[in-house]
Amino acid sequence: MAVNGAQIVIDRLSHVYRPPHGRPVLAVDDVSLAVSHREFIALLGPSGCGKSTLLYLIGGFLPTETGTITVDSRPIAGPGPDRGIVFQHFALFPWKTVRANVMYGLKRSGLPRAEQEKRAQAFIDLVGLCGFEDSFPSQLSGGMKQRTAIARTLAIDPDILLMDEPFGALDAQTRSLMQSELLSIWQRSPKTVIFVTHDVQEAVFLAQRVAVMSARPGRIKALVDVNIDRGDPHLFRSKPFVDKVDEIWELVRAEAIKAQQGKER
Amino acid sequence: MSEPRARALPALASALWRYVPVVLLLALWQAASDFGWVSTAVLPPLLSVLSSGYDLITTAEFWEHTAASLYRGSVGLLLSIVIGGALGIGMAWWRPVNYLLSPIVELFYPLPKSALIPVTALWLGFGDTSKILLIFLGCMLPVTIGAFNGARGSEQTLVWSARSLGASRLQTLRDVVVPSAMPELLNGIRTALALSFILLVSSELIVARKGLGSMIGFLGDGGNYDAMFAVVLAVAMLGFFADRIYQVMMQRALRWRE
């Protein structure tokens, strides 16, 4: 499948998850999706729908068995620094300080040491962690941990940013702050972002396009464009925003109910 | 500037306060012979043990024996840490290594390592190398098991993060798996440290002409009980301080955990 201008092309991708004990589960079922350069797309669906599995496949963390994923027309082969990832539970190296975490990817960048340090500091400043460079992750709040993780990933300047429910472990206030910050970072230096979430408002607030996924096995049920004016100071009460949330919520509701019944069965 | 010192003094006082029960025990020891509760042939008075201990540490002989013991113990322990740690991490990282080694580890883990004393003596004689081999074999498995469990518990997302930040598989092993294994590995080494003293002294007691264990043996055989108890005390103190120093080092290495 050739899609003009698309950076990431997923074609008829399926994935069977084989737990060490228990029977195999079809987690991703025949998914095709094209993502353009510098697009911000959200993968939205109920928990357990395979949206994270899809993200891990794009990241190259899980092997592609059925179907293909290409990035800039090349099939992916394992993880790489062109696709940075941010996990829900931060995945910071707990034995490294904030600075050493942010430096980790830069060490292999080929930049001179002084340049690496300058760059690390610039990203620490960008996420507002100036003064915490020598703290260990265990000394930081959840929001600060996730800021560190975002700085660590942005520092290596990946073309593509994969985000796996990155704000899901944060309290409501921190989450809404981080959403705005992510949006302003993305607006200043656009990257292709694939953002996994189960929060409809979050998806509508952040993404240009929302891929609604069905309950397991994960399929793409609908692709919804989001064209809203994010500069609106009363965005969350504005009619276009509320209507878009309602529209997508209708699509998700049926799947959420199915997922719930699946669990109870 | 004076603040750390102001805090250091009460810290020292409370550390000393913790050991008051030990002082009481020592007082009880002295009282037992002073008041004739126990025959001095069975338990010599603490004060005579201390005075013969003082005489002992002024002899070159005592220090030669101590040096022999410390040499055997540290070389054996070091080998067990390096080789045992590498095996444990290898087992966690490469499945074939795990298939090959885990049944062997399971089989040998419950074996009382002191049973190897005559075996290593048969192979390597009465000198240093038989003790080093014994301590290495006896101390290796707790280190291996600590390293294995620690490395196997390293979080998937940490490994993935390193890989997506450009680390190769081998760099990920070094930068993520080994540090993840550290807390359990260091606990395994602490067990190995205690085991090394047990194996050292018992092997020297049975088959050696040098070392603190052999000294306990020949002082006892010669009926010199004051000096024998003094050497036992010296070994106990050595073990205690080794463990304390190790714990301080371990806390420093793991200070990121808080």
Task: Summarize pLDDT for B87-103 with one digit per residue, the tens.
Answer: 999 999 999 999 999 99
Task: Report the SS3 class of residue B36.
Answer: coil
pLDDT tens profile B106-158: 999 899 988 999 999 999 988 899 999 999 999 999 999 999 999 999 999 99
Q: Is the CATH number 3.30.1360.10 carried by domain B58-253?
A: no
ipTM of this model? 0.91
Determine, for residues B160 and A108 on separate chains, whether the beta-carbon distance falls below 8 Å: no
Chain B residues whose CB is inside 8 A of the A139 CB are 258
Contact A12, A34 (CB under 8 A): no
Task: Report the SS3 class of residue A93.
Answer: coil
Q: Is residue A242 part of a domain?
A: yes
| Dist. CA B245–CA B257, nearest whole Å | 19
pLDDT score for B7: 65
Chain A residues whose CB is inside 8 A of the B158 CB are 91, 93
Determine, for residues B164 and A138 on separate chains, whether the beta-carbon distance falls below 8 Å: no
pLDDT score for A119: 94
Q: Is A105 on the interface with B (CB under 8 A)?
A: yes
Count Cβ atoms within 10 A of the Cβ of residue A220 and give its class: 0-12 exposed, 13-18 middle, 19 or more buried: buried
| Dist. CA A67–CA A28, nearest whole Å | 11
Determine, for residues A136 and B167 on separate chains, whether the beta-carbon distance falls below 8 Å: no
The values of phi and psi at residue B42, to 5°, are -85, -45
B3, pLDDT greater than 70: no
Tokens coding B7: 């805090």
Determine, for residues B158 and A83 on separate chains, whether the beta-carbon distance falls below 8 Å: no
Contact B181, B88 (CB under 8 A): yes
Tokens coding B107: 């089989």
Q: Is B95 on the interface with A (CB under 8 A)?
A: no
Q: pLDDT band for position B1 (50/70/90)?
A: very low
Q: Domain coordinates of chain B in residue numbers?
A: 58-253
For chains A and B, what is the number of CB pairs under 8 angstroms?
Answer: 67
pLDDT score for B19: 87
* pLDDT string in tens for chain A (265-residue length): 445 579 999 999 999 988 888 888 899 999 999 999 999 999 998 887 889 999 999 999 999 999 999 999 999 999 999 999 999 999 999 999 999 999 999 998 888 999 999 999 999 998 989 999 999 999 999 999 999 999 999 999 999 999 999 999 888 888 888 999 999 999 988 899 999 999 999 999 999 999 999 887 889 999 999 988 887 888 888 999 999 999 999 998 887 787 777 665 5
| Mean pLDDT of chain B, nearest integer | 92
Q: Is residue A206 part of a domain?
A: yes
Which residue, among A69, A47, A49, has the nearest Cα to A60 in the 3D structure?
A: A69
- Long-range pairs, B215-222, Cβ under 8 A, ≥24: B215/B62, B215/B65
Q: How many domains does chain A fold into?
A: 1
By residue count, chain B amounts to 258
Comparing CB atoms, the residue among B157, B166, B258 nearest residue A87 is B157
Q: Is residue A18 part of a domain?
A: yes
A2 against B59, higher pLDDT: B59
Q: Is A139 on the interface with B (CB under 8 A)?
A: yes
CATH code of A13's domain: 3.40.50.300
Q: Is B176 on the interface with A (CB under 8 A)?
A: yes
Min Cα distance B27 → chain A (Å) is: 45
Mutation to test the B interface, candidates A71, A76, A88, A104, most B Cβ within 10 Å: A104
B228, pLDDT greater than 80: yes
**pLDDT over 90 percentage in chain B:** 81
Range of the domain at A12: 1-36+48-77+194-265
| Dist. CA B12–CA B7, nearest whole Å | 9
Query: pTM of the predicted model, to two decimals?
Result: 0.86
Q: Is residue A99 part of a domain?
A: no
